[in-house]
Amino acid sequence: MNPIVIKGQKFFDSVTQEQFFIKGVAYQPRSDGREQELMDPLADVTACTRDAALMKQLGANVVRVYEVDPRNNHDACMKVFADNGLYLLLDVPTPNKSINRKSPLYDVEMYNSYKATVAAFAKYPHLLAFVAGNEVTNDKTNTPASPFVRAIIRDMKTFLAKNGGRAIPVGYASNDDQFIRDDIKDYFVCGDEDSQADFFGVNLYEWCGGSSFERSGYSERTKEFEGYGKPVFLSEYGCNLVRPREFSEVQAVYSDQMTSVWSGGVVYEWSQENNEYGLVKIRNAVAEPLDDFKNLKKVLTSAKPKGVKMDKYQPVAKTTKCPVTSEHWKASDKLPPTPNENACVCMMENLSCMASEAVHQSTTNSTIGGQLDMMCGLTSCDDIAADGANGFYGKYSGCTPEQKLSWLYNEYAKVQSSQTRACDFNGYAGVVTPKRSDLATCAALEPNFSGPSLMTDNQSYQFTGDSSLTKPSALLLASAALFWTVFA
């Protein structure tokens, strides 16, 4: 399968130069319906083999996956998807390593986790794109979270470039909120090109039952994205208020009404879960196609979008101004810095008072959170603060919560008359001997963009018969080493 590239507002096959339209399905089975047990669907070759063949029958060419574990080997599943003509659209964050929209931060643990995922999947030619965030800012109350997602986009693009990877698109998937839809679509493609989203996805559920292009609002959304300058597609669609779903919107999505602006879409979702959006019911390891599957198959296999050849397409250069601060939009165009593990380690090795084993052994975040709240009432938290509304980020704002807590303990203790007595906090802190004495230089250290080489020869890259790859054994080992460094 040929890598997909971007030119202007469209996707293209890099070899045939044919325009590429996404006919996708969201794929995140939750352990036979047990909602709380998220799994890595790309590590189960039996399930992949079962599902990929059905997806091919459905007429799909893309699967969107929301969570993977980069410690797993994904070669077998990726081979199965390639054999069935399916590209992968992969979300990089996971539920426990993602931006909290209510209290956003972007730290070294998250950064290293994202690098591990990118390193594990960048080698596959049929990796369509990475998604750096899904509905992180979802209404007017949490727009200051958006700068943190753009920082992830910037860092993942930089990581790919610095380690020899091909220019895999990195973008964002948004919901459709009436108060911020214009601001957020502009925000992700304004300013510094290096931090702009390479594409913009919209999770759109406004076409329900027997609606229409006009009544659903699809016509207005299409007008809003005319001349957007970057590819835009439906990163999720498929309202289920009327069931079984007839998917009458599919005809519009791949018709001339929309294909000049949109690059297709991803139907939500593959397996039947408690939210009842499934196309198939998985029971006893068998996938049973539901009426939704049969209805979607009829319209998706018959959809024949008309595209343009890449060499015939001449996009118009587009410059978008960042949205101004308003009642509904409060996101700074100044982004958080790359989380700097080198600076954080340097800082920790200069401290004489830091968090004790009691903090390390705590099984919940409440201990650290409570201690941080307390310390911010005793000393300044500017050096660890991150404010996406005002664009203010302290020099250690990207450190881990424990590292931030150690910094505050030390800051408080060093100005007290007796550091030994001050450095206790009911056993959560303790006096240590500093390993170095160059604290003033720590914040100026360069962040770590290192990782395994991501170079691949896409022309000769082949899967062998035993579902392993011919070239990436060293990459796999390096990726595993990187991930274990993060989570050990």
**pLDDT per 10-residue tile (average), the chain, 488 residues:** 97 98 96 59 97 98 97 97 98 95 97 96 97 98 98 97 92 98 98 97 97 98 97 98 98 98 98 96 96 98 98 93 97 98 98 91 76 96 98 98 97 88 92 97 95 56 39 35 34
Q: Please name the residues in contact with 228: beta carbons below 8 A apart, sequence gap of 6 or more.
A: 9, 185, 189, 200, 261, 318
The CA distance from 139 to 316, in Å, is: 31
Q: What is the pLDDT of residue 366?
A: 78
CA distances from 445 to 163, 352, 402, 405 (A): 20, 21, 20, 21
Reduced to 3 states (helix: H, G, I; strand: E, B; else coil), residue 144 is helix
**Residue 412: what residue type?**
Y
Nearest to 167, CA basis, from 202, 125, 221: 125
Alpha helices, DSSP H, located in 279-413: 291-302, 341-348, 357-360, 366-376, 401-413
User: Angle at CA 115, nearest 5°, toward 139 and 264?
Assistant: 50
Reduced to 3 states (helix: H, G, I; strand: E, B; else coil), residue 485 is helix
User: Got the DSSP string for 12-68?
Assistant: EETTT--B--EEEEE----TTT-TT----TTS-HHHHHHHHHHHHHHT--EEEE---
391 torsion bin: left (phi>0), alpha (psi -120 to 50), beta (else): left
What is the pTM for the complete model shown?
0.92
Could you list the active site residues? 135, 236
The CA distance from 109 to 86, in Å, is: 31
Please state, as a whole number, how many other Cβ atoms lie within 10 Å of the Cβ of residue 298. 14
Element (H, E) at 117: helix 108-121
The CA distance from 148 to 106, in Å, is: 6
Q: What is the pLDDT of residue 170?
A: 98
The two structure tokens encoding residue 161: 């470039």
The CA distance from 253 to 248, in Å, is: 9
Domains of the chain by start residue, with CATH: 4-312 (3.20.20.80), 341-442 (1.20.58.1040)
Burial of 241: CB neighbours in 10 Å, binned 0-12, 13-18, 19+? exposed
Q: What is the CA radius of gyration of the chain?
A: 24
CA distances from 155 to 127, 159, 168, 214, 345 (A): 18, 6, 13, 39, 20
Q: Report yes or no: 122 and 73 within 8 Å, Cβ to Cβ.
A: no
